[in-house]
């Protein structure tokens, strides 16, 4: 089994910054894409950013130029640097990891971390 542990959420004022971290552990074997999704109250979960093992990335249009996703393959950890935060970025942020193991393909989620942008 693969487990994801997220950290770094909190309350920040508009225009501020936060950095989220997500560490994978367990029967990782071969991590593939890692990413962040978010879900605001009353809305569907949406993709925020994804990063592949080679470093290629994709971002939601709403966060391009403000958020940066990165990963440390040696630590099996993915980060999300969030700058110029807006109230509409308020949501629960979920880490996601996909990969392969002796037991087969996995697609797992973290427990979520709350990000609140408010003055």
40 within 8 A of 115, measured Cβ to Cβ: no
Number of C-beta neighbours around residue 86 at 10 A? 13
β-bridge mates for residue 30, sequence order: 100
In this prediction, residue 33 carries a pLDDT of 96
For residue range 6-54, list pLDDT tens digits in order: 999 999 999 999 999 999 998 888 899 999 999 999 999 999 999 999 9
Map residue 66 onto helix, strand or coil: coil
Q: How confident is the model at residue 109 (pLDDT cuts 50, 70, 90)?
A: very high
In this prediction, residue 21 carries a pLDDT of 98
What's the mean pLDDT when you consider all of the chain? 96
d(Cα 15, Cα 12) in Å, to the nearest integer? 8
Residue 67 tokens read as 């958020």
- Sign of the alpha-carbon dihedral angle for 106, 29, 46, 10: positive
């Amino acid at each position: 089994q693969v487990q994801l542990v997220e950290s770094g959420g909190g309350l920040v004022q508009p225009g501020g910054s936060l950095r989220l971290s997500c560490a994978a552990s367990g029967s990782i074997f071969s991590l593939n894409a890692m990413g962040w999704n978010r879900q605001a109250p009353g809305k569907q979960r949406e993709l925020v950013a994804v990063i592949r093992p080679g470093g290629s990335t994709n971002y939601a249009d709403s966060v391009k130029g403000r958020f940066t996703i990165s990963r440390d393959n040696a630590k099996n950890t993915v980060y999300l640097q969030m700058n110029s935060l807006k109230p509409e970025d308020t949501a629960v942020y979920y880490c996601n990891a996909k990969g392969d193991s002796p037991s087969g393909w996995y697609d797992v989620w973290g427990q979520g971390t709350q990000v609140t942008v408010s003055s």
